[in-house]
Structure 1
Amino acid sequence: MLAGFPNNNETIPNELKYMQMIQESCLLKIGFSGVGGFALGGLFGMFMSSFEMASVDPAIYEQPMKQQLKATAKDMAHRSFSMAKNFAIVGAIFSGTECVIESYRAKNDIYNGAASGCITGAILAARSGPQATLIGCAGFAAFSTAIDYYMRRE
């Protein structure tokens, strides 16, 4: 037997059990996904806002450079924060539903991601009506399944 790995005669220390419980916690997964989504969404929003200045009044270009930079920075911050919130919400909903489904089914397979993708898409599109809810469910489920399939292939 390898050193450090328990065999049938050894018991797993309580510290390892607690660490495993924490790592498998749905609340922790939701938190990490929300924080990670917020960070990535903020970066993505900042990047995308540099391409589109549609919300800036054209009269700003007649102002001094300092005013132009201030308006541009304000627009970038607004778009970054908006995108960060959206990514955080999507990440938290998806990881939360996936964790709950995985815990309920006691399996880690491609169907967990498909089901949680469907639920996430349906929740995000629910305000737009039943047709949008179905399309959101199908779209997120297909995307999640494709990503899961790609990540699990050998």
Structure 2
Amino acid sequence: MAFPMGGSVMGGGRPGLSAEDLQQQQIQKYIGAAAESCAFKTGMSGVMGFGLGGAFGLFMSSMRYDTPMTPQGAEMAKLAVRDQIRQGFREMGKASWSSAKNFGKVALFYTGIECGIEGLRGKNAMENNVMAGFVTGAILARNAGPQAMAVGAAGFGVFGFAIEWYMRMDSYDASRDPIT
């Protein structure tokens, strides 16, 4: 039996850690450093955003339905049931793919920018999320012009602040919880 700061009690062993234990600690250190890197956080956020967006798009497209009152619904009603189902699944797939790409892109940009700002500033502060929101909102609206970039930056900045404020709120103080 080994004790901290000492050797083996049962005898026969060398004091301290074995070569396997040292190697295991080194591997754990490398895995921890990799998981805390900006590249890993950004990539994982993009993958998770893609998955969440796909599920969200699938759910939202399943809620969308055509009634026979609309021109598209009237055309759909004329098709065979098998073709209606096929077309419905095709539209669900398109909506899911589109939503997955958008969610993944937003998560990738926001997390990468926030992690980069945190690394440059050297501290984990609420301002990092607000700045990341401003930059992400501006980047996402860049094709719509400068006014849209300003609105997107402001919107994402406020959203980043609100989420970070809620996450940093004391969890034991139920009276300050705006959701309950």
TM-score (norm 1): 0.87
Query: Match for residue 29 of structure 1?
Result: 41
Q: Among 119, 126, 129, which residue is 1:113 paired with?
A: 129
After superposition, the C-alpha distances for 1:15-49 in whole angstroms (9 at most, x for unaligned) are: 34312320121111111111101110011101111
Alpha-carbon distance in structure 2 between the residues aligned to 1:17 and 1:43: 34
After superposition, the C-alpha distances for 1:58-86 in whole angstroms (9 at most, x for unaligned) are: 31211121111000000000000000000
Alpha-carbon distance in structure 1 between the residues aligned to 2:123 and 2:102: 29
Q: 1:115 to 1:31 in 2, by over 3 A?
A: same
Q: Among 132, 152, 168, which residue is 1:136 paired with?
A: 152
Helix, strand or coil at the partner of 1:50: helix
- 1:91 correspondence with 2:107: yes
Shift of 1:88: 0.3
Where does 1:46-85 land on structure 2 (aligned, <5 Å)?
46-53=58-65, 57-58=72-73, 59-85=75-101
Helix, strand or coil at the partner of 1:107: coil
Alpha-carbon distance in structure 2 between the residues aligned to 1:42 and 1:130: 30
User: Which structure ranks higher in relative contact order (CA pairs < 8 Å, sequence separation ≥ 6)?
Assistant: 1
Greater radius of gyration (CA)? 2
After superposition, the C-alpha distances for 1:129-149 in whole angstroms (9 at most, x for unaligned) are: 111111111100100100000
Q: Count residues with an aligned counterpart.
A: 145
Query: What amino acid sits opposite 1:37 in the alignment?
Result: G
Query: What amino acid sits opposite 2:72 in the alignment?
Result: D
Choose 32-41 or 15-24, whichever is displaced more.
15-24
Q: Among 136, 142, 149, which residue is 1:126 paired with?
A: 142
Shift of 1:53: 4.0
After superposition, the C-alpha distances for 1:86-123 in whole angstroms (9 at most, x for unaligned) are: 00000000000011011111111111111111110000
